[in-house]
Each structure stands twice: as C-alpha cells, then as structure tokens.
Structure 1
C-alpha cells in the first residue's frame, strides 16, 4: 500500500529540530554581506547561524552544495527570533541545504516569492529543506498584486513543520512547479505544516497549495502532502488545487475551511486518511473530483455545510474533447470506505450544462458510510448518465433512500473525544464486497479484520493521525495576529439577471464590492459608469451574458466606463455588442483628459459581435487618460471590428495610455482590423515607458488585408511576444513590427500571416512557420501530426490552450 511507504518515508527523513548540532563548524553572521561571504566559504557540514534580531529588506541568496550525510545548515541563532521584515526574501539553489527557525513577519513584498527554491531556470534546489519556519501577514499593499509565499522547484525538496498564516492578496500560498523535466517526478514532501487563516478573495488565485498548472497537468509530480493542518483557509473554493499526476494527500486536517481539496487536473491521485471538520460553518467542503484514476478512501468528513461544488464528495461532469484548462471527464475513480456525517448532499455530475455534458464513467462508490441527521438528502444524481457502481454503501437518514445506492440502517454511535464512532454492535456495517482494492487498514492505520463500511473499524479507540500529528514549528510557537484589514472586498452581493438589475446593484454597492452574477442575461438600460472599484464575477462565462436592452431607442456608446482612481475587475462573463443599433465599445477609459490612473483586470471572459465600424472597438482609451495596468487573461475576442485601441494620443510629448498591457492565454479571432493598437505619440524619449506583454495567445483571421497589422505598438518601450500563434491572415504581409532594444519575439509560430519585421536592436528566437494542424480548431487542440507536439522542437508550451481556471 502507498500508505505504508509514505509513513516509512517520513520516519527515515526526520531530523531533530536543533539540526545545527550536526554541523562540523559554525559561523555567526549579522548582516546580508556577512551571510554571503560565509556561504562562499561553506563546505558540506558547515553551519551558518543568523544573529537574532530584525533583518529588514534582506534578500538572502542561498546557493551552495552540501551532501546527504553532511548538509549545509542555515539556522536562526534562536528559533523564531530571527525576524525578516519589509521586502525580505530567501532564494535557495544547490543541493542538501537545510533552512531552520526563520520568521518572515508583517512584510511588504514586491517580488513574486518570499521563499523560492530557484534562482533562475538553470539554478534551482534539489534535496533541500525548509523547516521550523513561519511566514505570517506578509502581504503587498495592493491585494491584486500576485505573490506566492513558497515556490517549490527542483526535486526531492521538503517543506515541513512551518506556519503559514494571514495571506490576504492574490496568489497561491505554496506552489509546486513542473515546468521542465528538472521539476517533474519531483517527490517533494509538504508535511506537518500549519496553514492558517486566509480571507475569501472573491476570485480565483487564492489556493493554499497548488501543485502544477493546467498546461503541465498531465505530467507526473509525485508530490506528497501529509500531516498538515488547514484552518480557515478560505481564499477560494480550491484549498488544495491538484493540477498534476501521481500525488498523495494523506492524513491532513481541514478545519472550518471554506472550500475543497480539488483534484482539478491530472490523474492518479491518492486521497486517504484525511479529516474534514466543518463545525457547521458556511461553505465548508470536502473533496471535488475531476479527471481519472483517483482513489479516495478512509477519509472522515463531518459538519460540512457546502453544497454543489463544495459538497462533501463531488464528481464533476466533463467537457467533450476538453482542452487542458477545462474539465476532463471523471473516469476510473474509486471512492471507498469514507465516513460522512451531517454534511451537505453528495453530488454526482456537478456542473452539468451544454458544455459539461460528459457524466462520470467506469467509477465506483463503495463501502461508504453516510449519516445525515440534519435532514439532508444523501445523494444528488445530477446527471443520470453517470456510470458509477454503487455497492456496500450504508445510509442513515430520515430522508428517503434509493436502495440502488444505499442500504438504510440505524447506526449506534459512541463518542471518542467528541468524535462519533460506530460501536461493535453495528453488524449492519459489515460488507461482503471485499476486493483487492479494498484498504487493508482503516483511517487510524489499524488492520481491518472484517471489512465494514466507512473509514473506521467498529469500536475504534484511536484518534486519526490527521488530528494527533503536530503541525507547525516544533521548537517554538509563533503568535500570529489574524489580519482584520487589507481584504480585497468590503461586500459580496448576488445579482439576478434581468433588465437594469446589474446597474442597480452597481449603484447600491460599496466601493470594493464583489457582485456575483447568476446565470442568465443582464440587459443594460444605460451605459454604466464605474465611479468606484468593483469586481463583477459570473458563475460561468458561458451562462452569464451582458448586453444592451433590445428596446432602447438610442444605441449605447459603451457598456462600461472605468472612471479615475477605480479598479474594475471583470470575470466569467460574456459581453455582446449585438443589437439592432450596434454598441460601439464594450469598455472605455475615463473621458478625455481625465488623467488620474485606473486599473482594468479581465479574466475568463468572452467579447463578441462588437462590429460597429464607426471607430468602434472592444476597448477604447481616450486621449489624456492613463491606466496603471490593463491585464487580460484566459479570454476570447471574436467576430468584432477592432480589439484593444490605445492609439489616440497625439503631439510631441510622448504620451501613452497605459503603463502596461498584458495579455495571457487569450484568443483573438475573426477581427476585421487589429487585435491591439497600443502606441506612444511624438518624441518617445521625452516620456519613456509602456510595456506590451503577449504570452500564450492565439491570433486567427485578424486584419486579413495586405496593409493590416495584428499588433500595432509604435513607440512602446518594451514589447515581449512569447509562446504565441499567428495564423490564417492570408492576405496580410506584416503581422507586427519590432525595432527597439527591449522588443523581442520568441517561441512563436507564424503561419499564413506574412512575416514580422524585426529590425534595429530587437531580438527573435525560435520562430516557426509550419501549419499548427488543429484537431479541434475551436478549442485549439493540436492533432498528432502538429509541430506543437513534436519532441525536441524547441517549443515550450506554445499557445495551444486557453489558460487555467
């Protein structure tokens, strides 16, 4: 069994807390410079001791090579009394380094990572360990700035007995990366950590742990997450987001956390011996299942109130020919011997709609014990086409039970330190369908002499290891204040579809509010001026539509206007310009010469049918306006006249309309003119700046004329085009021009789109001109003969997919 191997692994890899006693010689350092010099002279067995006190704005770079027998140890003089503050960070690279006893406290980071197991793509960590440390309330002033507290790269690294509490901004707390063979099958261990309070962000990007990405989700990670505590980790629906293969989640405690352990992408996860305690707190959830080959067994779930995607056990529906970032069909999944008490309803086929039409298949739900004295139904078969075998399941409830799925029984319980356990008198729990996949032990690792339904042997007298195990620092206990401010929203409200309902909700919302839109169409009676920061999020972009009311006498010039000093965040909606009198713009900047900055963030949206040829475009920036950032991810722009237009500045002072325009995992197709026009007027050197970033984007049938340009970037200082595809603009001669020192295009495919003009100090690398050969052109899935899939072609995840949810 994988469990026995796992337990042995942790015993063998254990070290005593005061690891510096192993050192052959020790050096005490008090400054960053002294640390760097000591590390240069370090040899296997060396110890570098950081002096107690505050280390402010320290950027420690720990690159060294120890050995398995004699690691190099970097430790606090006294555990917990070396305090890193301000913009401090730690970068680890090399082999066999141990970091012990540090506290990153109340900092204000400006870089992406607080602790990174990589310096760059060629220098990363293997066989290294961070232990007995804490990161608490270490957040940027801007909660929309994405950071990670720990980025795990390399192989065979361990993060253990640490405390991570109080992350309030966007970005996963801990990320395991699989970009490149050096980081796959990594065998990382994340164990005995305490993951503390994290507030609800109201959007994606708040995972506590993420292992992989959708792009690399079919790669094997073999990461073990065990004996950790997750308490009030409420950042988003995915507490843990599994996005790779062959990972183990064992003996973790989830306490009052508003989300689920989500098997979002990837295959063959083992989820066993975990304990989920909701204490009847709102939105607390269990385990959500997507993809294939998973085993979910010996888990104990109690008092979880979540439903639908936050149900105690959720089998999702899949998408036909799903790209990596969507929902693969649930297949060959085994859910067995779990105990579920007073939770929400188990859901089979969650998310079923016109897109997610594939029910789970070839899966089993066997020997589970479900007891609901709260009156809840045990099971919601949301998709009757599900091919799941139900055997040996016992249900205790006052509600009706379908005998095809559960055998109804009255259970005799006894309390073991407030935990309900089935007594020895429950002969009805004995099941006969024992097979080679049935677990040989129960959740407490006690041998099963008789196979009974549920996670526990009858008359069990042991507490599960998930509850008993010590999480967090062993030698010291950090006192961490739970953050009460710096929250991304001040109010969350649900809006129903209809005429004028969205305008009314925006008018009544407080600044910084999140408006959640239910499925349906929202008809605007007037253009909406956003005079305060607002976050609009739909339940799903394919079921939430925003458009002009068909009965308007006068056409709308625009749907939304972002005013000065406002942040507009739009997510999971479809905006349409279709009307008997065409809407000119989807979104516009403040009015002319309103110079105070604003920010626009768009994620997972669709824009279509903005066909007004009288100067129209999907987005327009007016003269004299300025966006700090325009960031667009995972979005589709199609069947429209123009895309993003930031080109109205004139004169000689070098004005431009945005500090940066970033497009990632976006698709522009069937655009009559440009996808992006982002230019600077006059003398470019008078007012330097401007950055256009294009990454993992696809441009298909855009500005298909001889004089067309897909991208216009005149005068912009920095232009970076990477991992992208330009195709099927057959008549076009030049898709874009690059000329400045900070202009580059690399790892990009250009097919039947003319030839880009690269001159001056601009750079190019890995440009391909072959047919991408789509198997599914709608979703940009390459066929088996595509150059995008050929080995050793130098292409690094070129823009095939539409991004990650």
Structure 2
C-alpha cells in the first residue's frame, strides 16, 4: 500500500511539474496563450484597470487539475467601460474564473449583439467565484451580466457580489427549445441595492432568472439549484428570483426588504424550501403545478404566499399564466402579515391586448382558479388573516 501511495504522489508531482503559471497584462497576452493552455495551468491577470476584454476559453481541464483564470490580487483587477461583446466566454471544462471586478461598466448592443460580462456556454463543471459586479448598467432591456447557456452541465456561480447594478438582470440560466444547461448551481452570492428599472413595463430587473419563456418553454427541465444567497434591498422589479422552467430548487435563500418576491412565474415541480423573507412587499408567488413550498419563514410583508389564477390548469395547454395546482404548501411560518396565504390572486384579470396571442395562443382571461393544492402544518403569527380564498 505504501508503494502505491508513493507512486501516486510521484505521478501527481510529475503532472504538476508540467503545469504552467502565467501573468498577463492585457487582452492580447491572454489571447496569445489561449491555444497552449492545458489542465492544471494558472493564469493571473495583473493588477490594474482595463476596458472590457473579449476572450473565449475552451480548454478541457479536469477535476483534479482545473484551469484557473484569476486576479493577481482579488479586487484589484477591475474592468470598466462599455461592453459590446462577451468579455469572458467559457466553453471548456473544469475552468475556474476567480476574483475579477466589473465596475461602472455599460452593457451595450453592437450590430444587434448584446454585451455580456461572463458566459458559460456549453461548458462542463466550470465555475465563476469571488467576482464582483458593481454599478453595471444595461443600456437595453433584458440584458444579463452573467449567463449560463447551451447544453452544458454542472456549472457554478458562487460567492460573488452584485451591487448597485441598474436596468439589468444579474444571473440567468438560458432555456431555449434547443438548448438547456443542466444542474447549474447558484449559491452563496450577495445581491444588494438594486433600484427599480427604468423600462416602461417595469420588467428586466431580476437578480436570478431560470428560463425566459414560461408560456412555451415552462415545461423544460433545467434542474438548477439556487441556494444560500442573500438579496438585500433588491427592488429592480416584482420578481427578485424568477422561475420560468421546471424541476428547479430554491433553498435557504434570504430576502431582506426587497420590493419583489420569489416567483414561480412558470414551470412545474419546483421546490421552494427553507427560505427566509423579511420585510419588503410580499413573499412567494405561485403559478404552475406540482411545486412544493415548504419550511419557509416569511415576516413583515403584506401577503406571505400567493396562489394565482391562470388561463389554464394544464402542463400541456398553452396559458399565459397557469393556475397554481397540485402544489404542497406546508410547514411555513408566516408572521406579521396582512394575509398569510392568499388562494386566488388575480381573479378574472383581463389580459386583452397585453400579450401577443399569435405567438402565445392563450386565452386572455385569468379565470381558472387554483386547484387541488394541499395546505398543512403552516404556522401563522400576528396575521391579519391566516388564509384568504377568492
């Protein structure tokens, strides 16, 4: 056994001996070494302030020897200015992007292409960690800072800070009819101080968005996990966390004084468990079927949990909104609310002229009531009304 361990250590040492470390001072230096990068290499970006770069990193690294692209010193590698392309596009495997700061950037469109700061596209087991996005402004609507896209899997966004960003979406998992990343993990990030968007319809300011088309693509399974993030004074729009696909999990997140909710806008069979929501507008809004809303602590809001009317009650029929059905609402604690649980919000809302009925062949009346939902074990403390049904 000792000989086996010694041999393994020798092999590991030999492998590490062939790994290289680089210090780059500009985009060209990084671009020049990209073709030669391999598993175990480490690239440090020299401390300094730069205009946004545009690089694609496609190295196939390994779990034991990831490729690392990182700041020479965390917080001292700063990208500022207009971004009309994707600054860092990661397409390989086991690549770590660490410690970069994007500050006072503007996301702009150039030749109909949107600027984007970080994209993991068709990547496998890649990670963005300890990065900061501060005072970034989107100059067109529906522009995210960070996107996970393509048919990749097991990518992670963690321990990053998103602060004082404007008119943008912060982190999105892109779901299309052809491509959906699987098993994305978004965890232990801080989102804070986001003002209402300036767009006329008030949309496009989510902090986390999993899917973009809940009407036609809500049944697509993304298997994303959003857990242990903090959202403080995030007021970009009514959806702080926006679910628009199926089989996702939202666990142990904290929302503090946010004018917005955890929203099951579309999709089915998601888990919303052990989140803490304190202050702000409301807590959790539910459309779609088969969701489990459990063990959440919601306090000091007008309405704790809202089960919504829809245009349909089916996973297979097209509805601009799907009524909340076959959901389990259990073991939640609702404290200091005007209404603890509201069953039947938006009853008979008329959406005539408010969406494209050719693109979305849906009825326009939101007149299908929530149905077959199970409420059990919920605790109400100082609630004006515990359960209201309309």
TM interval, short-chain normalised: 0.7 to 0.9
Whether contact under 8 Å (2:313, 2:323) holds in the other structure is no
Q: State whether structure 2 residue 119 is matched by structure 1 residue 116.
A: yes
Which residue number in structure 1 is paired with residue 232 of structure 2?
231
Contact 1:334 1:365 in 2 (8 A): yes
For 2:103 and 2:251, how far apart are their aligned partners in 1? 29
Partner of 2:169: 172
Name 2:210's counterpart in structure 1. 211
Q: Deviations over 1:486-545 (max 9, x none)?
A: xxxxxxxxxxxxxxxxxxxxxxxxxxxxxxxxxxxxxxxxxxxxxxxxxxxxxxxxxxxx
Deviation at 1:63, TM superposition (A): 2.3
Aligned length: 342
Q: Which residue of 303, 307, 313 corresponds with 1:315?
A: 307
CA shift in 2, pair 1:135/1:34, >3 Å? same
Aligned-pair CA distance for 1:378? 2.3
Structure 1 contact 155–182 (Cα < 8 Å) conserved: no
The 3-state SS of whatever aligns with 1:292 is coil
The residue aligned with 2:359 is none
Q: Name the residue aligned to 1:196.
A: 192
Alignment deviations for residues 447-482 of structure 1 (CA, whole Å, 9 cap, x no partner) = xxxxxxxxxxxxxxxxxxxxxxxxxxxxxxxxxxxx
Establish whether residue 285 from structure 1 lines up as the match of residue 286 from structure 2.
Answer: no
| Residues in 2 aligned to 1:187 and 1:146: alpha-carbon distance in whole angstroms | 23
**Distance in 2 separating the partners of 1:249 and 1:126:** 22
Give the deviation of 1:199 after TM superposition: 0.9
CA contact (8 A) 2:177 2:217 kept: no
Name the residue aligned to 1:365. Answer: 375
1:321-720 matched pairs, under 5 angstroms: 324=318, 326-345=320-339, 346-353=341-348, 355-372=365-382, 376-382=384-390
CA distance in 2, matches of 1:187, 1:324: 26
Which residue of 33, 36, 39 corresponds with 1:41? Answer: 36
1:27: which partner in 2? 22
Whole-Å Cα distance in 2 between the matches of residues 343 and 96 of structure 1?
45
Aligned counterparts of 1:188 and 1:370: Cα–Cα separation in 2 = 34
Helix, strand or coil: the match of 1:378?
strand
- Aligned pairs for 1:143-158 within 5 A: 144-153=140-149, 154-158=152-156
Q: Which residue of 2 aligns with 1:612?
A: none
Structure 1 stretches of 4+ with a deviation exceeding 3 A read 21-24, 320-325
1:109 offset after TM fit, Å? 2.4
Q: Deviation of residue 379 (structure 1)?
A: 2.5
Partner SS for 1:33: helix
Aligned counterparts of 1:351 and 1:221: Cα–Cα separation in 2: 27
Q: Offset of 1:325 from its aligned partner?
A: 5.5
Structure 1 residue 369: deviation in Å? 0.5
CA distance in 1, matches of 2:203, 2:116: 18
Shift of 1:112: 3.5
Shift of 1:234: 0.7
Q: 86, 91, 94: which one pairs with 1:93?
A: 91
Aligned partner of residue 312 in structure 2, secondary structure:
coil
Deviations 1:119-151 (A, max 9, x none): xxxxx32211000101111114x4x44421111
Separation (CA, whole Å) in 1 of partners of 2:51 and 2:18: 27
Largest Rg, 1 or 2: 1
Q: Distance in 1 between matches of 2:119 and 2:130?
A: 16
Which residue in 2 is equivalent to 1:66?
Answer: 61
User: How many Å separate the matches in 2 of 1:55 and 1:147?
Assistant: 22
Secondary structure of the corresponding residue to residue 58 of structure 2: strand
- Counterparts in 2 of 1:234 and 1:30: CA distance versus 1, 3 Å: same
Secondary structure in 2 matching 1:95: coil
- SS state at 2:33 partner: helix
Distance, in Å, in 2 between the alignment partners of 1:22 and 1:175 is 38
Query: 1:217–1:324: 8 Å Cα contact kept in structure 2?
Result: no
Structure 2 match to 1:271: 272
Instruction: Report the Cα distance in structure 1 between the residues aligned to 2:312 and 2:286, rounded to whole angstroms.
Output: 17
Question: Cα distance, 1:246 vs. partner?
Answer: 0.6
Inter-CA distance 22–128: structure 2 relative to 1 (3 Å threshold): farther
Contact 1:23–1:73 (8 Å) recurs in 2? no
Distance 1:168 1:150 in 2: 14
Say whether the 8 Å CA contact 2:313–2:325 is kept in structure 1: no
Q: Which has the higher contact order (CA 8 A, sep 6+)?
A: 2
Contact 2:187 2:227 in 1 (8 A): yes
Q: Secondary structure at the match of 2:118?
A: strand
Change (3 A) 1:381 1:164: same
Helix, strand or coil at the partner of 1:332: coil
With structure 1 as the length reference, what TM-score do the two structures score?
Answer: 0.41
